[in-house]
Structure 1
């Protein structure tokens, strides 16, 4: 009997907040490998906010996730069968195999990784797309200099936590914004930020004035909405804002900019970016990030859901800020 593969498909497009009913778990047999193909047993699935936008059938930087197809997603795993001489059994790989236990590939889009010094799961976090996103937005858009103040929203998350630590290494004052006292304590006590503001406590405008008395020079924005408005009010002239995400509006809530005149008054540079459009920067970023993780000087935290069936619940929790650090699903 053929071995079975479990997959999660996009069953319907969300109307407002994502619901468990938008997904469907299926079981399908694995077909024999053809010449040139390999079979990958996925160990980890990455859950990321960008997936919410792909669930919509609307104009965006990438095509929508098709209905009744395996949900898109980054994976890390191991080759367990090969009919391709370029790929040997036992090789650890990362790729975009999606929400499923096994993947069949000719090797296109897969990358070999070495987990002897960097844990396999980290290649989906600080030494993967989230880490490179942090590295690019900070270095290429925020361009911080020693002595400047950098603010990071979603500071305890997979991207924001890396942004803040890299900015500290550059000699900046770093202020995080996160949801809840536990996350803020982690950001300051474990990651080394100078301050962290709990947006759930309210009064962000006043808290920012206290935490950044000399104003804000660089802002790495993961959320948009009211927090972006508050940070813009604190920006210094010629400040730089890297727009990475807008999770505050991913479920359809309006993102109203209350103070657009500040862009002109403060001569702000605001730039959105998609990290997959800057592949030329990936080798330098991954080299630096991998070295820092291997040495233990770049810290990270993971929230791990056990089993593919829990992926929808974990993804919904991610969109609501329930995760702490990088959200993964452990598949084996």
Structure 2
């Protein structure tokens, strides 16, 4: 079994999506950290802190393909963070005159957190697109079957008649709310992190707040009321939302899977040659998309408590809880998007 099936050349097709891996993966994170360093330099150049030609040289040098990843990995293993090695390389690429202005007034967590915010912004946008499309398909399915009578079941036993359209509308209702939740949480998540060494912007004197505002505008992010190095509710809210979303998707998958049983056979996933087949029994048509909605959702649900526990940060800089977030954020986004696309496949092809 791979250490991480989502990154496996073989198993990766079953866990997560290529689009979310591209948005939340390491290459994207390195690119976003470079974007943050550039935004910092440009913001400071507009305020007369950094020479404009130095800021432009930093911007010109900030290409992820120019990084020596082996050297960066070695530096990261030594220091415990990737930013020191990244800044060293970016400074060298920008040249001695411009390079000395790289990372001026910032701290490691400013760069890493803001880069993660930029990744989350793209990840949440991907989630929203597919969630809205799923909701449209569910609404159409509910209307189409508003008069299709079926047995209602409580405690897994026949109860009173319902319609299949009613059942689908029950699936749809919480997902409509999920779009509302997503739109509401994004301003709380998509915020700049910039506070300097202890969060007070002390190294920039009276210009710290101005740099923060210019930098946020450059990146299209909100300005926080205070740096949030040890206040992690935004990241936690995003992953909690993914947990809620996966819970709603799991309801759909569970119902479809139960209704696909041979003894009931009221619905079925779309037929695709070989999909859901058995290596032993040729008659099998397993609910494979349902299974991977549930599997990926369970993965997300296991990561939500990790993010909650990581909120217990110590003093002005976390010594462990912050680092634990790296084990949960990218994986929860990837698995949630995988579960969402599996759910879309179920609904788009339901027969």
Length-normalised TM-score, structure 2: 0.22
Higher fraction of helix: 2
Larger radius of gyration: 2
